[in-house]
Chains A and B, each alone.
Chain A
Amino acid sequence: MNLGTRKILDRSFSAVGIGSIAVMGIALLIVIVPIVHNGLGAVFFTETIEHRNMLYNEFGKGDKAELDKENAAAEAYRKEAYSLLARFETEMETMEPERQQEFRSKYGPVQTALRHLIGPLPGDEEAILTRYRYGQTRWEKAEEKLHELLYEAKWDYSDPNAMAKEYFVSRAAEFEGTSLVKLFPYVENNLDKMLRPRFTIYWGFLTDSSVDSHIFGGIWPEIQGTFFLAVGAMLFAFPLGVIAAIYFTEYARDGFFTSMLRSANSTLAGVPSIVFGLFGLAFFINTLKVSESKSVLAGSLTLAIMILPTIIRAAEEAILSVPKTYKEASLSLGSTKWNTIMTVILPAALPGILTGGVISLGRAAGETAPIIFTAAVSVGSAIGIADVLSSPTPALSWNIYNLASEHEAAAEIRHVQYGMVLALVSIVLLLNLSAILLRARISKKLKG
């Protein structure tokens, strides 16, 4: 191969390499940017007075006097809307039955849309579900709902070969000639006065429990559950993993039995996580009966089994990377094998072992499948530390899936989903970052 070809080959290889890294980076950005942007929206957003009312009623947060004043101010503008409704209702009484019928069926959706916007109307019964007791708590959602009030969505089925098309009809036009016509421009122009939007930083998203299955409130139960599960898994897996790694590297003799154990370990590392989930259900809950049903304990044990091979591998690598000379030096001073392991080998291998441990912790925090059958519930309150043996818990990973796919009002609470994703990603990233820092720090200490 001549010089020219070699250079072209090297350059094109570098180009392909840089290209693939760039593709990965762009893909990561495409994923991360919306997560960060929308996720931050769960904490930083423009809240309405409904949000402040909800916080006061559900969590006791906020100043009562201040809130009363604000409510009075908002009420002043809402009254006009309510009286417009009342006037239209009396007007309908006077209509001919046919016309009245027509308007009644159109009037219902208007009421509903207004309820969604600014909360229960005068004369409504107290709703059982918390979500119906308040109007829109987020200003950008309120603007969406305003559109629903102003326009009726209709579907165009005229072309049987194409998908139906959505189009909007102005409700003002539908109520042309009645007193209700005034309602629509009034609400449109005075919505900000009725809802009093204000920018807020809602840290409670991270520390409050959820209200009415995540329609309001925060994600503390999920964060706490994730923490319990991951830490619980580490409590079981870390000591066992390190002990197994010490056995493999220091005590096991090379032979059939050891190589079987090693390949079993590698195989275990490659088993799909859902299999661990089913195993956890079958073994820990049904066979061993560690708990009557799902529990943090069963979930932690399942996660522990799942991350054990990774921890063993990482610890083994770390121990093997300790220079043999340390071991020789220690033994030549009359140290026992056990003492050498405890005082020389493990301290020197600690950075690697801890890195493996923290990365496994991150994995345990992020896994969904193993906890579906063993620990996770979709909605629940934060459990106490005493309940971990018997209670299931919500957890970030499982609730992200649940909120995005199975939640009845999935579209209404996108910000909660994104907030959860951001929280989970941050937790895992922070764990990995701390692993890197920890490693750097211990390595520095060892190197002097």
Chain B
Amino acid sequence: MQMTADGRDTSQKEQVKTATRDIYLPSERKQISGGGIPHVTAKDFSIYYGEFEAVKKVNADVLSKYVTSIIGPSGCGKSTYLRAINRMNDLIPGCHTTGALLFDGEDIYGKFTDEVLLRKKIGMVFQKPNPFPKSIFDNIAYGPRLHGMNDRKQLAEVVERSLRKAALWDEVSDRLDRNALGLSGGQQQRLCVARALAVEPEILLLDEPTSALDPKATAKIEDLIQELRGSYTIMIVTHNMQQASRVSDYTMFFYEGVLVEYAPTAQLFTNPKDRMTEDYITGRFS
């Protein structure tokens, strides 16, 4: 049975107990017009590392233009699941999948799928800021150049637009030709977001984007996610439950490779249906 974020749930147990731990919840989140269409759909989707089944038979729809966070203890398969969406797992030898993972109805792991085109539409930001050892300008322009944009003026526009979207323009506009590695960690991570946005993806995957950052830089990234909400489908893997509750509309909880619960964030944190979810969000295990 398909699990959707609307609360239709396959889990048998009914949980009514509220979470005991105090969790900050944002005020009522706005509906997004034109959003909410299934964007990434998993059907009995499993991921294996050799023999080991890292993600087990996931059935879920990720809704477009909303922010979906993925939480769960270390090694639960949440990052694996995220990286499966733009086929970054292809880099890992012995990694293969069963079932189907659809992006706009097309199979991501289909025989004729061009992973290069796919990745252009599904951008990603990684755990550690990873700007190229090039100038700020060249970092942002890397993607557009790849896809055939060579006009300096056009590139400059894209760079400015992307940096503005990533709320970095004011800080770096006077030193675009400097090496990106000279920026602070938080700035580097926003630069990575800007770089991903420069190729105009439909989906933005964030793999623990703030785990290497200090609280101030983290706050900026979170603000940025709020800014981008509504324009892009955003999926964020995080270890930080407060972060998930702050930034996301929907939350997936993975445990040992199984998608245990998937619900609107407010519901999942205040009224988890599954015992396991409750134990996790109340900090009984991590």
A residues near B (Cβ < 8 Å) are 253-254, 323-336, 339, 343-344, 347-348, 445-448
Of all A-B residue pairs in the complex, the 5 with the closest CB atoms, nearest first, are A448-B179, A334-B120, A325-B130, A446-B133, A332-B124
Q: Which of A253, A328, A334, A348 contacts B133 (CB 8 A)?
A: A348
In the docked arrangement, what's the CA distance between A446 and B88, Å? 25
B195: chain A residues at CB < 8 Å are: 329, 333
B69-105 contact mask (Cβ, 8 Å, vs A): 1 or 0: 0000000000000000010100101000000000000
A437 to chain B, nearest CB (A): 19
Contact B142 A343 (CB under 8 A): yes
Contact A330 B142 (CB under 8 A): yes
B142: chain A residues at CB < 8 Å are: 330, 333, 335, 343
Contact B133 A333 (CB under 8 A): no
B179: chain A residues at CB < 8 Å are: 445-448
In the docked arrangement, what's the CA distance between A448 and B142, Å? 17
In the docked arrangement, what's the CA distance between A332 and B146, Å? 12
In the docked arrangement, what's the CA distance between A331 and B117, Å? 10
Q: Which of B121, B126, B181 contacts A328 (CB 8 A)?
A: B126
Q: Which of B93, B192, B199 contacts A334 (CB 8 A)?
A: B199
A332: chain B residues at CB < 8 Å are: 86, 88, 119, 123-124, 126, 196
In the docked arrangement, what's the CA distance between A447 and B179, Å? 7
A323: chain B residues at CB < 8 Å are: 130
| Residue B180 is within 8 A (CB to CB) of chain A in the complex | yes
B132: chain A residues at CB < 8 Å are: 326, 329-330, 344, 348
A326: chain B residues at CB < 8 Å are: 130, 132-133
Contact A333 B178 (CB under 8 A): no
Contact B126 A333 (CB under 8 A): no
Q: Count contacts between A and B, CB distance < 8 Å.
A: 78
Q: Most chain-B CB neighbours within 10 Å: which of A253, A327, A334, A336?
A: A334
B182: chain A residues at CB < 8 Å are: 448
Q: Which of B93, B117, B196 contacts A333 (CB 8 A)?
A: B196
Given contact pairs A323-B130, A445-B133, a sample of 12 additional A-B residue pairs in the complex whose CB atoms are under 8 Å apart: A326-B132, A327-B91, A328-B130, A329-B130, A331-B91, A332-B119, A334-B147, A335-B146, A348-B133, A445-B179, A448-B133, A448-B182
In the docked arrangement, what's the CA distance between A412 and B180, Å? 62
Q: Most chain-B CB neighbours within 10 Å: which of A325, A332, A343, A448?
A: A332
Q: In the complex, which residue of chain B has the Cβ closest to the Cβ of A322? A: B133
A331: chain B residues at CB < 8 Å are: 88, 91, 119
A253: chain B residues at CB < 8 Å are: 93
B121: chain A residues at CB < 8 Å are: 334
| Residue B143 is within 8 A (CB to CB) of chain A in the complex | yes
A327: chain B residues at CB < 8 Å are: 91
Q: How many B residues, CB 8 Å from partner?
A: 30
Given A329-B126, A336-B116, A448 contacting B199 (CB threshold 8 A): no
Contact B93 A328 (CB under 8 A): no
In the docked arrangement, what's the CA distance between A354 and B102, Å? 45
B133: chain A residues at CB < 8 Å are: 326, 347-348, 445-448
Q: Most chain-A CB neighbours within 10 Å: which of B88, B124, B132?
A: B132
In the docked arrangement, what's the CA distance between A131 and B116, Å? 73
B199: chain A residues at CB < 8 Å are: 333-334
Q: In the complex, which residue of chain B has the Cβ closest to the Cβ of A448? A: B179
Q: Find residues 155-213 in chain B having any chain A CB closer than 8 Å to their own CB.
A: 178-182, 192, 195-196, 199
Contact B146 A333 (CB under 8 A): yes
A136 to chain B, nearest CB (A): 61
Q: In the complex, which residue of chain A has the Cβ closest to the Cβ of B125? A: A332
| Residue B128 is within 8 A (CB to CB) of chain A in the complex | yes
Contact B147 A328 (CB under 8 A): no
A-B contact pairs, 28 of them (CB 8 A): A254-B93, A326-B133, A327-B91, A328-B91, A329-B195, A332-B86, A332-B119, A332-B123, A332-B196, A333-B123, A333-B142, A333-B146, A333-B196, A334-B116, A334-B117, A334-B120, A334-B143, A335-B146, A336-B116, A339-B146, A347-B133, A446-B133, A446-B179, A446-B181, A447-B133, A448-B133, A448-B180, A448-B181
B116: chain A residues at CB < 8 Å are: 334-336
In the docked arrangement, what's the CA distance between A308 and B159, Å? 42
B131: chain A residues at CB < 8 Å are: 329
Q: Most chain-A CB neighbours within 10 Å: which of B119, B133, B143, B179?
A: B133
In the docked arrangement, what's the CA distance between A343 and B86, Å? 21
Contact A447 B181 (CB under 8 A): yes
In the docked arrangement, what's the CA distance between A113 and B133, Å? 71
Q: In the complex, which residue of chain A has the Cβ closest to the Cβ of B120? A: A334
A324: chain B residues at CB < 8 Å are: 91
A256 to chain B, nearest CB (A): 15
Q: In the complex, which residue of chain B has the Cβ closest to the Cβ of A337? A: B116
A337 to chain B, nearest CB (A): 9
B147: chain A residues at CB < 8 Å are: 334
A446: chain B residues at CB < 8 Å are: 133, 179, 181
In the docked arrangement, what's the CA distance between A397 and B105, Å? 69
Q: Find residues 106-134 in chain B having any chain A CB closer than 8 Å to their own CB.
A: 116-117, 119-121, 123-124, 126, 128, 130-133
Contact B126 A325 (CB under 8 A): yes
In the docked arrangement, what's the CA distance between A448 and B128, Å? 18
Contact A329 B88 (CB under 8 A): no
In the docked arrangement, what's the CA distance between A443 and B131, Å? 16
B180: chain A residues at CB < 8 Å are: 448
Q: In the complex, which residue of chain B has the Cβ closest to the Cβ of A335? A: B146
In the docked arrangement, what's the CA distance between A344 and B139, Å? 11
A255 to chain B, nearest CB (A): 10
In the docked arrangement, what's the CA distance between A126 and B227, Å? 98
Contact A333 B91 (CB under 8 A): no
Contact B120 A329 (CB under 8 A): no
Given A448-B179, A448-B180, A334 contacting B126 (CB threshold 8 A): no
A330: chain B residues at CB < 8 Å are: 132, 142
Q: Which of A254, A329, A347, A445 contacts B192 (CB 8 A)?
A: A329
B181: chain A residues at CB < 8 Å are: 446-448
A240 to chain B, nearest CB (A): 26
Q: In the complex, which residue of chain A has the Cβ closest to the Cβ of B93? A: A254
Q: In the complex, which residue of chain B has the Cβ closest to the Cβ of A344? A: B132
In the docked arrangement, what's the CA distance between A327 and B130, Å? 10
In the docked arrangement, what's the CA distance between A330 and B192, Å? 11
A344: chain B residues at CB < 8 Å are: 132
In the docked arrangement, what's the CA distance between A326 and B199, Å? 17
In the docked arrangement, what's the CA distance between A93 and B130, Å? 100
Q: In the complex, which residue of chain A has the Cβ closest to the Cβ of B115? A: A331
Q: In the complex, which residue of chain A has the Cβ closest to the Cβ of B127? A: A325
In the docked arrangement, what's the CA distance between A350 and B147, Å? 25
B178: chain A residues at CB < 8 Å are: 448
Q: In the complex, which residue of chain B has the Cβ closest to the Cβ of A447? A: B181
Given A254-B93, A328-B130, A333 contacting B88 (CB threshold 8 A): no
